[in-house]
Structure 1
Amino acid sequence: MGKLSVAVVGMSAVLSAWAQEAPTDFASQVPLSVSGNGPWYRLELPLAVQLNARQADLSDVRVFNAAGEPQAYALSRQASQRTESRHVVDVKWFPLYAADTRQTLPGVVMKTTPEGTLVEIKPSAATKPGKQVLRGWVLDASAIKAPLQQLSLDWSREQDGFQRFSIEASDDLQHWESWGDGQVARLSFADERVEQHDVSLPGQSARYLRLVWQGQAAPLLTSAKLASATSSNLPLPLVWSQPLAGTRLKAGEYSWQLPTGLSVERLRIELKQPNTLAPVMLAGRSDARQAWQPLSNGLLYRLAQNGQDVVQDELQLPGQVVNQLKLQVDERGGGLGTEAPALRFAVRTTQLVFLARGEPPFSLALGNASVKAANLPLSTLIPDYSFERLKALGQAKIAGEVAVAPPAVTAAVESGPNWKKLGLWAVLLLGVAALGAMAYSLLRKPPVAR
């Protein structure tokens, strides 16, 4: 049986050598630069990588060292980073007044309890008396310890239209950090009411939020809620594509072909003309042979207000994989024109973590429709894995351009016979036949006399 063992070991070595992947097996390679503490490095895959991959789940992504040896790696996607739960809390609000809508906020005195709860806001002694205009509100988030994800406002029914305001955060009521701008709206259109109450926040913690209306008086609030995440495993950021041209199918109907199947979470529709108002319905599908499935609906607009454009050009999607998109526009609002508007799509960033082995430089390879997934779970790649450990890993970055190959060329290459796979099967069958012949020979050999 010694010969049998030698044969098995030898065949395994042949099969392993034949099956060894090399950078030349992939359509594209791009060099990587690494920094920080190894031997594990974390790379945020640019959107160009996902567009150039031949498999939607990125099974054809690999990392090689200078000798062309593959590196062990893991993919960290949205599923492994999802927040555990969300909590929505009603918070107290306190008014901010100024002399007019153009004046910066006057000095105020804010009183808190020893626990940090806000109890009063009143003008400072230096503030001039007179008629005051409601300019904004301070929200007390001191009871919320988790990162703030979303703000939801409701206001007096007498004040319809758009409400735009700046958002600032503070922990001491003295030093304020800008968190960008927010916009909510309550509109009537075609016998329907469209209400937008929610504003996304950056996922950071703060004890207080200050909302200041821009160029207009603030409305009377009737409700203020803050949604927070209870886990530090926050969603990975979104990455946006370049503008994608579309096709006008007929009046009020447009379509777009995505470069590949992608889990799209948001869309941004270009609204070129001022005073555009367009109720829309969006559908998608992953294959031209499938029926269109509804994905989202909403009201897109670009309207002039107080000398500036107020724009709502985004739609939120459920994140399912789609390859084609179709937009239907209610043209009672004027439509979007005779040409299809440009479209940008957003997907979640995917992180690749690899264990550096061998000599640099390292390279990223992708573009092979026939290879199988080779990624490991993060807990296997990093034995003492934790979310905090992931954030502390060394950094890897793309050090060159990733060329997106035309789909037609890819199809032509993939349509030919896969000689490597055929050869592998031939060696495997020959090996099995040799093992069978050897086993048969051993069975027919007469027993040795004792």
Structure 2
Amino acid sequence: MSRKLNLGWLLLGVAMTAGAQEKPADFAAQVPLSVSGSGPWYRLELPLSVQLQARQTDLSDLRVFNAAGEPQAYALARESAQTRDDGHMNTVKWFPLYNSADATERAPSVRVQSTTTGTLVEVQPSSQLEAGEEVLRGWLLDASAIKAPLQQLILDWTSERDGFQRFSIEASDDLQHWQPWGEGQVARLTFSDERIEQHEVALPGQSARYLRLLWDSPNAPTLTSAQLKSSDPQNLPLPLVWSPALAGSSTKAGEYTWQLPMGLNVERVQVELKQPNSLAPVTLAGRRETSLPWQPLSSGLLYRLTQNGQDVVQNELQLYGQTVQQLKLTVDERGGGLGEQAPSLKYAVRATQVIFLARGDGPYSLALGNPTVRTANLPLSTLIPDFKPEKLATLGKAMVQGDAVATQTTTATTAAVAETNWKKIGLWAVLLLSVLFLAAMAFSLLRKPPAKS
């Protein structure tokens, strides 16, 4: 009986394995891939438009196939805001940059004293300024002790009046040659007896020994604190991927809702502000589906204000990577609101990378869109022996060909689903027959009279 039992389970396992072999036709969407560089491993930056073809939030229904329709071993490089290393906060020294009030050059000329390691000791104007004619143009930050890419600048300051502080950011390693790093904006506002402050400025994620902040206004504020957030080069976060503009709806004054294509781990949203001089304290909530209650996600002040002929815009809210499919924005109407029609909204998720081991002949294709299959991705350490994070940059590169997603016809998709259903029915039938067969054998043995001695 033991031999028959083992044989029955073996046949059942073989049948289930054969039935579980997936084909491209089992998936609703197929995307052709092109590869370049040296294999056999290839890395694909998954476009958001392709990711949205999946039917499972965790991308369990993602597969890679070769030209013969054979599945390829693959791994996913993903990260969430909850598990990502947020970096290290560094308090740095800051030095004032003075110039004369009638100086024509925007960047003050200075002389510096530093140690052999590059740490600044003193920063003074290159020429003597008379008392009363010196104007504070900006600040020089000493980041020479930080040996990692700079991700964020955090400032605190004092000034005679509230408002926005706008400045340019430049980086240098020798205090002679400066590279522009974009614009910075911080703010301190009062609204309806509430204090609203913005201290953080995003940096491009590059290394630099010194930063120079130059104000647009004639006088810079007095800094009271300066910090720089840095990240280990081996643990740099994957970039954010932004969606196209998403239309919303409104059934109540001051409330706007948006439906996302699927459950996504959203980390930022950007709300369209059409009208100049818009000011809107807001609260953002989200949920996975309509039957669940709304959960608060973020709050802040959105604005588009005109100052000195320029628009000053803050239209983003930061989230913490919760999985949501519906978003609701509630606006404090005392700021004037955002109008009766719902503004469009863009959302950002952290990029996903697909790493696969090419086996067999190309061309290769990516398949998504099957709500019933189970996950098949491997850990990176299993897919690539002796894996280290820096090895990702050395892998061959795979890219989606064109912008279109080759979606199967309704007939083909229906046939694939029907085939999958018949496979399931067949497997369950085999399992049921095996159980009945074993039960019959056991019953027969129990009824058999004991052998006479």
TM-score when normalising by structure 2:
0.89
Looking at structure 2, the residues matched to 102 and 374 of structure 1 have their Cα atoms a distance apart, in angstroms, of 64
Distance 1:439 1:63, change over 3 A: farther
3-state secondary structure, aligned to 2:52:
helix
3-state secondary structure, aligned to 2:152:
strand
Looking at structure 2, the residues matched to 350 and 412 of structure 1 have their Cα atoms a distance apart, in angstroms, of 29
The answer to whether the Cα contact below 8 Å between 2:28 and 2:413 also exists between their aligned partners in 1 is no
Matched, 1:93 2:94: yes
What corresponds to 1:448 in structure 2? none
The answer to whether the Cα contact below 8 Å between 1:239 and 1:348 also exists between their aligned partners in 2 is yes
Looking at structure 1, the residues matched to 86 and 233 of structure 2 have their Cα atoms a distance apart, in angstroms, of 7
Looking at structure 2, the residues matched to 339 and 101 of structure 1 have their Cα atoms a distance apart, in angstroms, of 49
Looking at structure 1, the residues matched to 11 and 226 of structure 2 have their Cα atoms a distance apart, in angstroms, of 71
Looking at structure 2, the residues matched to 397 and 130 of structure 1 have their Cα atoms a distance apart, in angstroms, of 61
Displacement of 1:373: 0.5
Q: Write out aligned runs for 1:66-77 (5 A).
A: 66-77=67-78
Indicate the larger mover: 128-137 or 161-170.
128-137
What corresponds to 1:139 in structure 2? 141
Displacement of 1:173: 1.2
3-state secondary structure, aligned to 2:56:
coil
3-state secondary structure, aligned to 1:390:
helix
Deviations 1:140-169 (A, max 9, x none): 011222222221111114242101111111
Q: Write out aligned runs for 1:419-438 (5 A).
A: 419-431=422-434
Matched, 1:329 2:348: no
Indicate the larger mover: 282-291 or 93-102.
93-102
Distance 1:121 1:323, change over 3 A: same
Matched, 1:60 2:64: no
Indicate the larger mover: 112-121 or 94-103.
94-103
Looking at structure 2, the residues matched to 395 and 100 of structure 1 have their Cα atoms a distance apart, in angstroms, of 54
Distance 1:311 1:120, change over 3 A: same
Looking at structure 1, the residues matched to 249 and 222 of structure 2 have their Cα atoms a distance apart, in angstroms, of 44
Instruction: Look up the equivalent residue of 2:314 and give its one-letter code.
Output: Q
Distance 1:194 1:409, change over 3 A: farther
3-state secondary structure, aligned to 1:421:
helix
Displacement of 1:90: 2.0
Instruction: Look up the equivalent residue of 2:61 and give its one-letter code.
Output: D
The answer to whether the Cα contact below 8 Å between 1:140 and 1:207 also exists between their aligned partners in 2 is yes
Looking at structure 2, the residues matched to 193 and 58 of structure 1 have their Cα atoms a distance apart, in angstroms, of 42
Total equivalences in the alignment: 445
Deviations 1:75-109 (A, max 9, x none): 11115995546332221111223445974214332
Distance 1:163 1:28, change over 3 A: same
What corresponds to 1:48 in structure 2? 49
Distance 1:165 1:404, change over 3 A: farther
The answer to whether the Cα contact below 8 Å between 1:107 and 1:126 also exists between their aligned partners in 2 is no
Looking at structure 2, the residues matched to 102 and 413 of structure 1 have their Cα atoms a distance apart, in angstroms, of 74
Q: Write out aligned runs for 1:378-389 (5 A).
A: 378-389=380-391
Distance 1:250 1:83, change over 3 A: closer
The answer to whether the Cα contact below 8 Å between 1:81 and 1:235 also exists between their aligned partners in 2 is no
Displacement of 1:437: 7.2
Looking at structure 1, the residues matched to 149 and 342 of structure 2 have their Cα atoms a distance apart, in angstroms, of 39
Looking at structure 1, the residues matched to 30 and 116 of structure 2 have their Cα atoms a distance apart, in angstroms, of 59
Looking at structure 2, the residues matched to 280 and 218 of structure 1 have their Cα atoms a distance apart, in angstroms, of 30
Indicate the larger mover: 60-69 or 155-164.
155-164
Deviations 1:111-139 (A, max 9, x none): 21111111222333599999343221110
What corresponds to 1:34 in structure 2? 35
Deviations 1:234-285 (A, max 9, x none): 1111000000000012111111111111110000000000000000011111
3-state secondary structure, aligned to 2:234:
coil
Instruction: Look up the equivalent residue of 1:74 and give its one-letter code.
Output: A
Structure 1 unaligned spans of 5+: 446-450
What corresponds to 1:362 in structure 2? 364
Looking at structure 2, the residues matched to 297 and 409 of structure 1 have their Cα atoms a distance apart, in angstroms, of 46
The answer to whether the Cα contact below 8 Å between 2:25 and 2:413 also exists between their aligned partners in 1 is no
Displacement of 1:216: 4.0
The answer to whether the Cα contact below 8 Å between 2:288 and 2:326 also exists between their aligned partners in 1 is yes
Deviations 1:27-79 (A, max 9, x none): 00010111112111111111112211100110000000000000011111115
Displacement of 1:401: 3.1
- Give 1:116's match in structure 2, choosing from 115, 118, 122: 118
Instruction: Look up the equivalent residue of 1:390 and give its one-letter code.
Output: L
Q: Write out aligned runs for 1:29-428 (5 A).
A: 29-79=30-80, 83-84=84-85, 86-98=87-99, 99=101, 103-124=105-126, 131-230=133-232, 232-403=234-405, 418-428=421-431
What corresponds to 2:451 in structure 1? none
The answer to whether the Cα contact below 8 Å between 1:86 and 1:227 also exists between their aligned partners in 2 is yes
Distance 1:263 1:85, change over 3 A: closer
Looking at structure 1, the residues matched to 313 and 376 of structure 2 have their Cα atoms a distance apart, in angstroms, of 44
3-state secondary structure, aligned to 1:418:
helix
What corresponds to 1:21 in structure 2? 22
The answer to whether the Cα contact below 8 Å between 1:100 and 1:133 also exists between their aligned partners in 2 is no
Instruction: Look up the equivalent residue of 1:168 and give its one-letter code.
Output: E
Distance 1:405 1:360, change over 3 A: closer
Indicate the larger mover: 335-344 or 222-231.
222-231
Distance 1:139 1:159, change over 3 A: farther
Instruction: Look up the equivalent residue of 2:183 and give its one-letter code.
Output: D
Deviations 1:331-379 (A, max 9, x none): 1111001100000000000111111100010000000000011111111
Instruction: Look up the equivalent residue of 1:199 and give its one-letter code.
Output: V
Instruction: Look up the equivalent residue of 2:55 and give its one-letter code.
Output: R
The answer to whether the Cα contact below 8 Å between 2:26 and 2:416 also exists between their aligned partners in 1 is no
Matched-pair identity in %: 65
The answer to whether the Cα contact below 8 Å between 1:101 and 1:133 also exists between their aligned partners in 2 is no
Instruction: Look up the equivalent residue of 1:319 and give its one-letter code.
Output: G
The answer to whether the Cα contact below 8 Å between 2:142 and 2:210 also exists between their aligned partners in 1 is yes
Displacement of 1:303: 0.2
Distance 1:80 1:265, change over 3 A: closer
